[in-house]
Amino acid sequence: MKIGLISPYAWDVPGGVQAHIRDLAYHYLDQGHQISVLAPASDESSIVEDFVVSAGRPVAIPYNGAVARVLFGPVAASRVRQWVAGGDFDVLHLHEPAIPSLSLLACSIAEGPLVGTFHAAAPRQKVTFAIAPFLEPVIEKLRARIAVSEIARETLRIHLDTDAVVIPNGISKEFFEKAEANPTWRRDLTIGFIGRFSEPRKGLNVLLEAFPRIALALPEVRLLIAGPGEGVEAMESVYPALRSRITFLGRIDDQAKASLLKSISVYVAPNTGGESFGIILTEAMASGVPIVASDIPAFSQLLEDGKYGLLFENENSSDLADKLIRLLKDNDLAQRYSQSGLDHAARFDWNQVGDEIMNVYLHARGEDERVTLLSEARPWSRLFTRGEEE
């Protein structure tokens, strides 16, 4: 099958959606499918994958508590048109087609077996309601919609009044399960945190507030924080006496992330909101590390209300401290969460998730159907071609 994937966000900036598309592309390539990915890129030379086509430089806009690098406009539209026309795709899979991006452009330009995946979960937003009437005819063209979680599905239902099939994001279970622990990180009573900690919604503040209480109960405790950003600023809010217990590792690659997860005794996700899935939790589960996470909807759903990890009340640092102390002291409990997480992680393996997405492709596509350009992409040209036909 020839599959076209579109990333709304810049390929050379790390992010969940980009990682999802890349892994999905590799998974299908391994199965013998043909893949082409269209994505914006700030620096074309940084693209290492030969199946990725750059659509030009993106612009940065603030979106959903983070900065999104997207691409839109007439030049981008002509790149999309070229790519779709030259691709001769069996299926076009658009990611996040409801925000102004390459995906939305492609959705309005192309016709045929189109599938869209909705990643974001956002509360009711007036802006989205305002543009919904313009989005609706475009989004309507998608033969099938995928939401990465129940929360993303709900967001879609509220804003665009349309339902979706829920298929979670994928991970390579084996990669995390087989990773080796790093001896310099490996020690008992180590708490791990991975994420862009400079963004408030990642909740590092909550964790740092809870830390003195944990250190009081467990003097040996250590905290490892990984992610892009300067640790110095965050460190200022910590008691000087405790600073030696906290280490900032900076940005780490996938390999280092997997071995960090293998090295720590508990993974903590204090995110305060804005998450729709929580891929890092599935990765922690696949590594067999017990989890303490805030009870925001996405995490509660992923951990099935505490079945696969301990939940604490969102933004409540003393509750977080209690839960962390409990898990670090109770070896049996930690062991149980580790095992149940490992079992549950299989649900998110690409072998399972890839098959489910392929199934949606097959349902979206009629026999011998291809993705074509909407010959009447412009209203006025549509008027003329109609006139000639009749």
Partner 1 sequence: MEFPVFVIPLFVLFAIWYLTFSATRLDRLHQRVETSWANLDAILQRRASLALELTHFPETDPAANLLLTEAAHHARNADISVRSEAESALTGALLLLRDESWLVEKHPDLFEELDQLTERLKVGISLHLEGVSAARARRSKLIYRVFRLAGKAPLPVKYAFEDDSLVEVQR
Using the rule CB under 8 A, give the single segment among 17-25, 46-54, 89-97, 139-147 that binds partner 1: 139-147
Minimum separation from the CB atom of position 152 to partner 1 (A): 16
* 182 secondary structure, DSSP code: P
Per-residue x/- marks for partner 1, 352-371, CB under 8 A?
Answer: ----x--xx-xxxxxx-x--
Compute the least distance from the CB of residue 28 to partner 1, in Å: 18
| Residue placing its CB nearer to partner 1 in the complex, 162 or 205 | 162
Does 143 bind partner 1 (CB under 8 A)? Our answer is yes
Choosing from 42, 82, 162, 182, the residue that interacts with partner 1 (CB under 8 A) is 162
Q: Which of 2, 33, 57, 141 binds partner 1 (CB under 8 A)?
A: 141
With respect to partner 1, which residue has the nearer C-beta, 162 or 182? 162
Output 120 or 142, the one with its CB closest to partner 1: 142
- Give whichever of 256 and 358 is closer to partner 1, judged by the CB atom: 358
Interface with partner 1, residue 315, by CB under 8 A: no
Q: Within the chain, where are the H helices?
A: 16-30, 74-87, 102-109, 126-139, 150-160, 173-177, 204-217, 231-235, 254-263, 279-287, 297-302, 317-329, 331-345, 350-364, 379-389
Give the integer Cα–Cα distance in Å for 111 and 81.
11
Query: Residue 378 in contact with residue 108, Cβ under 8 Å?
Result: no
Residue listed under structure tokens 């033969």: 143
Q: What are phi and psi of 150, to 5 degrees?
A: -60, -35
Given 165, 235, 252, 373, the residue binding partner 1 (CB under 8 A): 165
**370: exposed, middle or buried (Cβ count in 10 Å: 0-12, 13-18, 19+):** middle
* Residue 33 or 196 with smaller CB distance to partner 1: 33
Residue 159 C-beta: closest distance to partner 1, Å? 16
Q: How far apart are CA 22 and CA 172, in angstroms?
A: 12
CB-based contact 118:146 (threshold 8 Å): yes
Residues 104-133 that bind partner 1 (CB under 8 A): 111, 113
**Distance from C-alpha of 143 to C-alpha of 158, rounded to nearest angstrom:** 19
| DSSP-derived pairing of the beta strands 144-147 and 165-166 | parallel
Q: What is the dihedral of CA 360, 357, 293, 257, to 10 degrees?
A: -160
379 lies in the binding site for partner 1 (CB under 8 A) = yes
Least Å from the CB of residue 157 to partner 1: 11
Q: Cβ of residue 363: shortest distance to partner 1, in angstroms?
A: 5
Cα(308)–Cα(334) distance, integer angstroms: 11
Closest to partner 1 by CB, 161 vs 188, is: 161
| Given 43, 163, 174, 188, the residue binding partner 1 (CB under 8 A) | 163
Interacting span for partner 1 (CB under 8 A) from 24-32, 57-65, 121-129, 137-145? 137-145
Residue 308 neighbours by CB under 8 Å, 6+ apart:
285, 291, 302, 337, 340, 341, 344
Q: Which is nearer to partner 1, 113 or 229 (CB)?
A: 113
The string of DSSP letters for 332-369 reads HHHHHHHHHHHHHHGGGBHHHHHHHHHHHHHHH--TT-
Does 137 sit near partner 1 (CB under 8 A)? yes
CB 322 within 8 A of CB 143: no
- Judged by CB under 8 A, the stretch of 2-10, 138-146, 151-159, 295-303 that binds partner 1 is 138-146
- Based on CB atoms, which residue is closest to partner 1, 342 or 364? 364
Smallest distance, Å, CB 34 to partner 1?
A: 22
H or E, element range at 191 = strand 190-194
Q: Please say which residue, 243 or 386, places its beta carbon nearer to partner 1.
A: 386
Cβ at position 344, least distance to partner 1 in Å: 19
Binding site for partner 1 (CB under 8 A): 111, 113, 137, 140-141, 143-145, 162-163, 165, 356, 359-360, 362-367, 369, 379-380, 382-383, 386
